[in-house]
Amino acid sequence: MGYYISVEQNVNIFVEDLDPGHGKPILFIHGWPLNHKQFEYQFNQLPKMGYRCIGIDLRGFGKSDRPWKGYSYNRLADDIRIVIDTLQLEDITLAGHSMGGAIAIRYMARHAGHKVSKLVLIGAAAFTRRPFGLTKEEVKRWERTWNDLIEATYIDRPKMLDGVGDVFFARYVTESFKDWFHGLGIEASGHATAMCAVSLRDEDLGQDLSKIYVPTGIFHGIHDKVCPFKFAELMHAQIKGSELIPFMYSGHGLFYEEWEKFNRELIRFIG
């Protein structure tokens, strides 16, 4: 079932709710620059096992409205809160990938984990503002990379997306899958894509991790070139009682590259 939820005047968020009213709810937050359809290989399996999968398109992405403003982590986390309250969700597993993981972290800190009983961080972009463990020159190169992505978004977004796709997966994916994946990014607003890249570059989650008090699973690909595995180790060290689940054969796209293990570990973690 797909429908829209109003999060502020003239801004509606698209929600896909599989098997509404039944099973433990898992609320998925997609990564940059994709949409909820990235979780297709979870949505077509987990409901069979009794889980209610809810995917949202963040503002500016997928089928959601495309306002000119509102792409800070605070605003995006507030959108999540409105979706949760509108659907009257309880005992949620909040699962965020990449930028979606960063938004999930901000949600937990800003809204005190409202209605969330477990948190799953999937290749989470937790340290893009302060990439720990890098030399000064590497940090400068990291910042240039984000600046180049933002500039390329406004000049030749399809080519920019091709470049993102080239580093997203560590394992072989077919050309057909690449085309499908590229199409998810194309569905987004170009301006929203750029503004969220600015947030990824500039937002700081340094004070947020210590405010997470629910059981947290950190799912991360060993070969991740977008959010290095070091991010996972740092999150594990800073989130009390968290569990680190490495994916030995995956890059940033572990939800697809090892989708059977991913689904199995997600079910185990939720319980």
Model pLDDT for residues 120-154, shown as the tens digit of each residue: 999 999 987 665 656 667 667 777 888 999 999 99
pLDDT tier at 15, thresholds 50, 70, 90: very high
Residue type, 52: R
Strand duo 243-247 + 51-56: pairing: unpaired
- Of 36, 97, 220, 252, the catalytic one is 252
Residue of 57, 78, 208, 224 marked active site:
224
Per DSSP (E only), the strands in the chain are 2-8, 11-17, 24-29, 51-56, 92-97, 116-122, 216-221, 243-247
199 given a catalytic annotation: no
Percent over 90 (pLDDT), the chain: 89
pLDDT, tens digit, for every residue of 70-80? 999 999 999 99
Q: How far apart are CA 170 and CA 105, in angstroms?
A: 25
Task: Tokens for 121, please give them.
Answer: 């961080």
Tokens (6 digits) for 23 = 């099973």
- What lies within 8 Å, CB to CB, of 177 at 6+ separation is 256
Superfamily of domain 2-270: Alpha/Beta hydrolase fold, catalytic domain (3.40.50.1820)
Please pick, among 98, 199, 242, 250, the residue that the annotation labels catalytic: 98
Question: What residue ranges do the domains of the chain occupy?
Answer: 2-270
This prediction's pTM = 0.96
78 belongs to the catalytic site: no
Model confidence at 21: pLDDT above 90: no
- Residue 108, SS3? helix
Burial 52-88 (b: 16+ CB within 10 A, else e): bbbbbbbbbbbbbbebeebbbbebbbbbbeebbeebe
State yes or no: is 64 an active-site residue: no
Q: What is the pLDDT of residues 82-102, one digit of tens each?
A: 999 999 999 999 999 999 999
pLDDT, position 48: 92
